[in-house]
Amino acid sequence: MIGMSKNAILLGMSFLFLLALVPAYAEVTSLQSDRALYSVDMNVYFTGTVDSTDSQKLVNLLIQDPNGKIVLMTGRFAAQNDTFQIIVNTNDPSQFYLKGTYKAVAFVDNESSGKTISFDFSPDGSPVIHQTNGSSAANQTAESKNASGGNTLQPPNLNHTAQLHENTTIVGMVNTSKIAKSESNHVQPNGYDLGNILYPSMAACGAGIVGFIVYLRMQRSKTKSGQSKKSVSLNPAADEKEDYALTVLKNRLAKGEMTLDEFKATKDALSEP
């Protein structure tokens, strides 16, 4: 009896020792998100599977920000088919406000036995640049590649710079020669510029024509005024004599010395030239 009890004790201790050596079986067997980058007020769909022994158990989800701070702890029961889905919204600014890579851990009882994935969050929706284990210079080179579409900026070559200056000088000389040629097209072989001679000549001709027209108008006005004066004072002595004779006739008609018919006949005779 004593020997059998010792054997049972040894067997029990061996079983416990084997349990301590064998690692615990993973509670959550898979975990993934529906996309890699999220922005403000977006749903993050976490889906995965659990071991058959953990079917219909509560699956916990823990989210950490880029600094490793826990910002959210939630959970949901697994379905009968050993699958689960947990939906998290990014509209809470106290949880999601830092731009960077977040970490999500799903587990049933032990966090260290769960599954861990990463996802990016950007408040403005711009891509998140992931830092690598390389030097900061390599990271800066990668950022410059992303900014320039994959082309890195090389230091300027002195020879290339000299050639560039030469090309600039040559281009400037060519442009100057073209301008000189275009200007020389307006100059005649005798050394006179038609443009400088033509425009003043046209202006002088126009002024002469205007002056001639004004002169003609002044002459016409003088001629008309002279004719009008001549017509008025053509024979002032005759006009005065005619007026005196008409006055005498009127007086004789008024005194009754002559009849009206005689007055008209005499007046008509005086009016004839």
> Residue 54: which residues within 8 A CB-CB, separation 6 or more?
27, 28, 78, 82, 108
Please list the residues that pair with 33 across neighbouring strands. Answer: 46
> What pLDDT does residue 67 have?
95
pLDDT (tens place) for every residue of the chain, 273 residues total? 444 455 656 555 655 554 444 444 558 999 999 999 999 999 999 999 999 999 899 999 999 999 999 999 999 999 999 999 999 999 999 999 999 999 999 999 998 889 999 999 999 999 999 877 654 444 444 444 554 454 444 444 444 444 444 444 434 444 444 444 444 454 444 554 555 667 777 877 888 888 888 888 888 877 776 665 555 445 556 666 667 788 888 888 888 888 888 878 888 877 765
**pLDDT tens digits for 178-217?**
444 444 454 444 554 555 667 777 877 888 888 888 888 8
The model carries a pTM of 0.43
Per-residue CA distances from 88 to 45, 46, 74, 92, 262 (Å): 7, 8, 9, 10, 139
37 phi-psi bin (left φ>0, alpha ψ -120 to 50, beta other): beta
Q: At what angle do helices 236-255 and 260-271 cross, to 10 degrees?
A: 170
Strand order in the sheet with 58-64: 37-38, 115-121, 100-107, 58-64, 70-77
| C-alpha–C-alpha distance, residues 241 and 237, integer Å | 6
Rounded distance, CA 103 to CA 62, Å? 8
CA-wise closest residue to 253 among 239, 269, 266, 238: 266
